[in-house]
């Protein structure tokens, strides 16, 4: 009986060894197949890995929300001044074009009347260069965070479309909240209707 039991034990171990070998071969084949597929589809795979992922979109900004710092593109002075008065950030970075430098200086003067510090004013020569505005916004967000600002938001209301797009891309890549100010335009006064401004959180990091 002991001999029979020993033979059965040997047979079981042999079977398990063969099963392990088969599983190993299957795993190896699957790995080779996956590697081959990844090589053939490498461009699609790269696009998938590099895809844009957005946080929460168009959520109402809770009343009383505060940010340590804002990064704002400048076209006219009214919206950035309203943001300063509404959110009361400790710091603000203004990114203007050559055409909106005067408006940026008006915002600077307004900030001096509040507790908001203009950490920097950057004037870029080409308002249509989205890449330049993206790079400047990215550098500004990093600088603000190094200075101790933990909650940084980026406004995308003002400026030409390439300016706003550049700032939006920088905000998404840096995981910053993106803000937009919606307001009614008064054609008679040729300006925003006072009191009609509404602050929207376009995207909020997860």
pLDDT digits (tens, 9 = 90+) for 142-169: 999 999 998 999 999 988 999 999 999 9
Q: CA–CA separation, 19 vs 22, rounded Å? A: 5
| Token pair belonging to 41 | 């589809």
Q: How far is CA 105 from CA 51, 99, 100, 102, in A?
A: 38, 12, 9, 5
Share of the chain above pLDDT 70, in %: 65
| Token pair belonging to 100 | 């909106």
| C-beta separation of 180 from 156 below 8 A | yes
Which has the minimum average pLDDT: 87-96, 134-143, 170-179, 188-197?
188-197
Q: CA–CA separation, 154 vs 160, rounded Å? A: 15
With H, G, I as helix, E, B as strand and everything else as coil, classify residue 179.
Answer: strand
Buried b (16+ CB within 10 A) or exposed e, 110-147: bbeeeebebbbbbbbeebebbebbbebbbebbebbbee
> For all residues of the chain together, what is the average pLDDT?
80
Q: CA–CA separation, 93 vs 83, rounded Å? A: 12
Instruction: State whether the Cα torsion 55-59-61-63 is positive or negative.
Output: negative
Q: What is the pLDDT of residues 38-65, one digit of tens each?
A: 455 555 545 444 545 555 555 556 666 7
């Amino acid at each position: 009986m002991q001999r029979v039991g020993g033979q059965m034990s040997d047979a079981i171990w042999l079977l398990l060894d063969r099963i392990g070998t088969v599983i190993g071969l299957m795993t190896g084949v699957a790995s080779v197949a996956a590697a081959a597929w990844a090589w053939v589809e490498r461009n699609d795979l790269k696009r998938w890995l590099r895809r844009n992922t957005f946080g929460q979109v168009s959520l109402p900004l809770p009343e009383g929300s505060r940010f340590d710092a804002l990064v704002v593109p400048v076209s006219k002075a009214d919206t950035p001044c309203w943001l300063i008065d509404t959110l009361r950030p400790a710091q603000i970075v203004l990114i203007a074009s050559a055409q909106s430098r005067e408006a940026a200086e008006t915002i600077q003067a307004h900030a001096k009347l509040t507790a908001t510090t203009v950490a920097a004013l950057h004037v870029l020569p080409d308002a249509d260069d989205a890449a330049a505005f993206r790079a400047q916004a990215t550098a500004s967000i990093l600088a603000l965070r190094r200075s101790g600002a933990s909650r940084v938001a980026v406004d995308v209301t003002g400026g030409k479309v390439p300016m706003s797009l550049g700032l939006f891309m920088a905000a998404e890549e840096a995981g910053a909240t993106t803000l937009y100010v919606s307001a009614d335009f008064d054609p008679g006064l040729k300006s925003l209707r006072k009191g009609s401004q509404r602050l929207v959180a376009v995207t909020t990091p997860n």
